[in-house]
Amino acid sequence: MAEVLLFHHAQGLTPGVLAFGDKLRNAGNTVHVPDLYEGRTFETLDEGVNHARGIGFDVVLERGKAVAAELPSDLVYAGFSLGVMPAQLLAQARPGCRGALLFSGCLPVSEFSQAWPTGVPVQIHSTEADPEFVDSGDIDAARALVAEAEDAELFLYPGNSHLFVDSSLPSFEAESASVLTDYVVRFLDRLR
């Protein structure tokens, strides 16, 4: 059983994020899904991003770090879009990380350290034409990470939906989300 710290996206801790956490739990993992927005959710991505800007991205990161500080260090860090920020920071900077799962986002490794940590596997998942992932440069950061890290994979799914795994949003893509979930469960199984 792997222990996962899963961070929500900019629209907040939606029922779809919680449902994804439940799928990982049902596969035999321990999953923590904290609320970095203190109960707030947003109808649109823009509203959620504006909220994150309003409270400060540094506050989002600090809240993520505070949650992690209460948990064991041998975690798998996972995040959707905005949640990639604390997930990737912790994966790169907190000793003991078992792995990282980055959904619909990837930052340059240099954002948090000079190199991806040795021995930390990572998977990055996005749709192939997601404008938030492709146009923002996240895809370039993902490809660079895959080239640098010893155990890294980039999975691109058909379409252009950003939050395609969140079953509570209109952007949900059931088939791609199912394939992603299978990859993630196998990834976690090998970390047990």
**Would the pLDDT of 180 be above 90?**
yes
How much is the average pLDDT of 2-23? 98
- Mean pLDDT (the chain, rounded): 97
Domain housing 159: 3-190
Instruction: Say what the pLDDT of residue 192 is.
Output: 78
Instruction: Say what the pLDDT of residue 143 is.
Output: 98
Residue 75 sits in a domain whose CATH number is 3.40.50.1820
pLDDT digits (tens, 9 = 90+) for 37-91: 999 999 999 999 999 999 999 999 999 999 999 999 999 999 999 999 999 999 9
Instruction: Say what the pLDDT of residue 5 is.
Output: 98
Instruction: Say what the pLDDT of residue 1 is.
Output: 84
- Rounded-to-integer distance, Cα 108 and Cα 85, Å: 11
| 84-93 vs 57-69: helix crossing angle, rounded to 10 | 50
Total tally of structural domains belonging to the chain: 1
pLDDT digits (tens, 9 = 90+) for 84-114: 999 999 999 999 999 999 999 999 999 998 8
